[in-house]
Amino acid sequence: MAVKTAVFVSGGGTNLQALIDRKLSGGLDSCELTLVVSSNPDAYALERAKAAGIETAALDRQSYADSAAFCKALEDLVAARGIELIVLAGFMTVLTAEFIAKHENRTINVHPSLIPSFCGKGFYGLRVHKAALDYGVKVTGATVFIVTPEVDAGPIIAQKAVAVQDGDTPETLQRRVMAEAEHVILPEAVEEMCRRISGR
């Protein structure tokens, strides 16, 4: 049986699309893309999911009093659908320790740097790439890791390096890291995790 997987998103959903594309090409045999949940009702990722025939849910983070209430609503959603793996793909809300504990070793995230560089609280989106350029690194990349209560500190599943080019801006670097690293290693890591969970 394929592992029921939920993808949590907040924005455009390019990493979600990478998973959908890999599934369509036969590369996610152990994974069932069951549910896509967005913390932003206007996220384009929801349109990508609908186009692929995946159930969607929008939980507007602003509508909840605090993280605990928001994560309770998330928990109700995933529990009702028997979700076995959660993939954070550009999800802009930090999950509570209680939620993470309920899905210990079954929640993964993709981060646009080679952890432990340029990660942790405050490092997300273009900020990560700006920090890499400001520091002057010649190589950056992406990391997929298991989520723990400490931000960006869980066990690493996969990493892929990307060269920084002369004249890069945070925007050009972001696009290249997505295309050359994130969209490559996230589907591979999801399949690996699903195989672990299913005991294949």
**pLDDT at 200 > cutoff 90:** no
Cis peptide before 112 (omega within 30 of 0): no
- Residue 155 falls in which region: left (phi positive, over 0), alpha (psi -120 to 50) or beta: beta
The closest of 46, 51, 45, 77 to 64, measured between CA atoms, is 77
Distance CA(129)–CA(112), nearest Å, equals 8
What is the per-residue pLDDT across 133-179, written as a single tens digit (0 to 9) for each?
A: 999 999 999 999 999 999 999 999 999 999 999 999 999 999 999 99
Task: Write the pLDDT tens digit of every residue in 78-110.
Answer: 999 999 999 999 999 989 999 999 999 999 999
How does pLDDT run across 16-68, given as a tens digit for each residue? 999 999 999 998 999 999 999 999 999 999 999 999 999 999 999 999 999 99
Alpha helices in 67-125 (DSSP H): 67-80, 97-102
The one catalytic residue among 103, 111, 129, 183: 111
DSSP 155: P
Given CA atoms 67, 48, 141, 172 in this order, what sign does their dihedral have? negative
Is the pLDDT confidence value at 1 over 90? no
Predicted local distance difference test score (pLDDT) of residue 199? 87
Give the separation between CA 12 and CA 53, rounded to whole angstroms.
Answer: 17
Q: In the chain, how many domains are there?
A: 1
pTM of the model: 0.96
The predicted structure's pLDDT at residue 181 = 98
Q: State the pLDDT at residue 10.
A: 96
Tell me the sheet residues that pair with 58: 38
Is 111 an annotated catalytic residue?
Answer: yes
* Cβ pair 158, 122 in contact under 8 A: no
- In this structure, the chain runs to a length of 200
**Domain with 184 in it:** 3-198
156-163 vs 139-146, strand pairing mode: antiparallel
pLDDT above 90 covers a percentage of the chain that reads: 96
For the chain, give the mean pLDDT: 97
Residue 73 has what pLDDT?
A: 97
Q: Which CATH number belongs to the domain containing residue 125 in this structure?
A: 3.40.50.170
